[in-house]
Each structure stands twice: as C-alpha cells, then as structure tokens.
Amino acid sequence: MQLLTPQNFKDYELIDVGGFEKLERFGQFITIRPEPQAVWDKSLSNAEWEKRAHIKFMPRSSSSGEWKKLKQMPDQWQIRYEISDVRNETNEKESQISNLKSQISFRLGLTSFKHVGIFPEQAPNWDFIYQTVKAMSVPQPKVLNLFAYTGGASLAAKAAGADVTHVDSIKQVVTWSKENMDLSGLNNIRWVVEDALKFVKREEKRGNKYNGIILDPPAFGHGPNGEKWKLEDNINEMIKGVLSLLSDQEHFLILNAYSLGFSPLIIENLLKQKAGENLNVGELYLQATEGNKLPLGVFGRFRNF
C-alpha cells in the first residue's frame, strides 16, 4: 500500500492540524477550516493559529457556515501548481518516465461550505495523469473526469495533450472549472453538467471508449435533477460501468474515495480484476509543517500500456 503526499506544491502548505481543525496556507493567505479527521491535539497554540491566520471558517451546520476575517484579504485569489515527474522507485514503469513539467492555475474563493476550490492532496494524481498521458502512443488520448469539481485532474490531462471530458452535477462548479482552464492558458475541454452515473450509462449505450478515466466521488451527493448518490450504495455499479468505457488499447484509471472508514482494500476489490498486477492502492495525505500527517482519502490507480 502506498502513502502519497504532494512533494513540491509551493503555493500550498499545511502548517498545523489538530483539534478538528487545519491551518493552511494557500498562496499568501492562511485559513483555518474544520477537519473531522484531526482527532489529535494541535502542535501550535490556538493563539498562534489566530495570530497567523487571515480568515477562519465558522460552521453553522454540518454542511454550511460563514467566514470570519482576522486580517485583510480578498474573497478571491489565485494559486499555481507546477506538475512534474514525482518518481516512485517502487514502481519501475513510473520511475522510467522522463521528467516533465507544466503549470496549472486555480482561482480560489470563500464558499459557504468551507471549501476554497482545490483539494491539494490530489497533486500526486495530477502528476500521474500528466505523466501517463504524455507517455501514451495514442494521439490525443480521450480522458473522462467524473465528479470533476474545479478541474485539477482535467487541467493536468489537458496540459498533457488529452481530449478531455469534464463531468460535474453543479453548474456553478463547472463555470469555476472554466475559469481555471482560462487561467492555465488551456482550451477546448468538453464541459458536461450531469449526474455522473447517468452520463456513464449513456456512454455505455453509445459505445464510447476512453483511454483514461478519473473518479473522485463524494460520500454523499445529488445530481442536477435530484439524483441521489451514496458512495457505498452506488460505487460498485459505477465502477462496472466505468470499466466498460475503458479502451481495449492503452488506458489508465484513478479512483479516489474520501469517506471515513473507507479502506484501500475496498478499492482493491473493486479494481483488481481489471487492473491485475498493475494496480496500486493506498492513502493520500498532507504532511503538516509542524509534524503530523492528515489522512485525506484512499485511492486506486492503474495503467495498461
């Protein structure tokens, strides 16, 4: 099992985590946000947190809240990530890929549901996507990004030269993704506002195939027409559909799952028949400057070429 964390994300830093909160730097601005998995004590004092932070999220319920500004800062700002080859010496195929770099940009903002528009723990997957697309012999590989949020994976695939389809059920989030595409100097991503499972079923009927598929499903969610998503109830059906969409030629797949109690072994059981010995499973985490590791979901990924 692998443990993956961003190696060179200059515009992001997890400063400290504990007491069900995390202290993070996004670019030049520092936030305090809730973190349900941080059951241990903070390394720094509460006073030190408040001294450093520009803004703190104050929950009103389990799904919403408001921001309290502690210092002057804008409601929107930008950060960048330089995609590169993070060599994994335990995987010979990955370690043989040449050093590749490309920069993608994100517009961040203060939302009522505590997020700012990026999940920085996904950076190792962005590297993997970029490297894999670049290494394919297929001209302009087709890549499908499901539950795509603000599009980090879509940007990585597009920067590597893929033909990208980006699917999310929330129109405003897709609009946000378009802003990130423009900021990154990219174009021609196909945007789809639809329930992910419905989209997959329709693609099956059409006989469409993809060289790469990325899924980052939430624990709970709703489609644009009220469709209900619950990870443990729907993931098996989703994976069956997704695997049928993979090209018989060169292909890759990434599955992320952020749900308390969701094991990497579940991911392994879902993917091992298709992936075989090429499957890597593990956990994504963020390493705090003050020493603790914050677990942020499990993943499975494989490539066949």
Q: Retrieve residue 94's tokens.
A: 């990955």
Domain assignments of the chain as residue spans, ordered by start = 2-6+77-304
Give the pLDDT score at 99: 46
pLDDT per position as a tens digit, 268-281: 999 999 998 899 99
Q: What is the mean pLDDT of residues 127-138?
A: 96
Distance of alpha carbon 277 from alpha carbon 302, whole angstroms: 9
| Topology, domain 2-6+77-304 | Rossmann fold (3.40.50)
State the amino acid at position 127 in one-letter form.
Answer: D
pLDDT at 15 over 50: yes
Distance of alpha carbon 266 from alpha carbon 247, whole angstroms: 24
Mean pLDDT, the chain, as a whole number? 92
Give the pLDDT score at 90: 39
Any idea which of 84-98, 106-120, 244-258 has the lowest mean pLDDT? 84-98
- Counting other chains too, the contacts that 58-67 makes at CB distance below 8 Å and 24 or more residues apart are 59/34, 59/114, 63/113, 64/112, 64/113, 65/112, 65/113, 65/114, 66/112, 67/110
Distance of alpha carbon 254 from alpha carbon 169, whole angstroms: 19
pLDDT at 216 over 80: yes
Give the pLDDT score at 225: 81
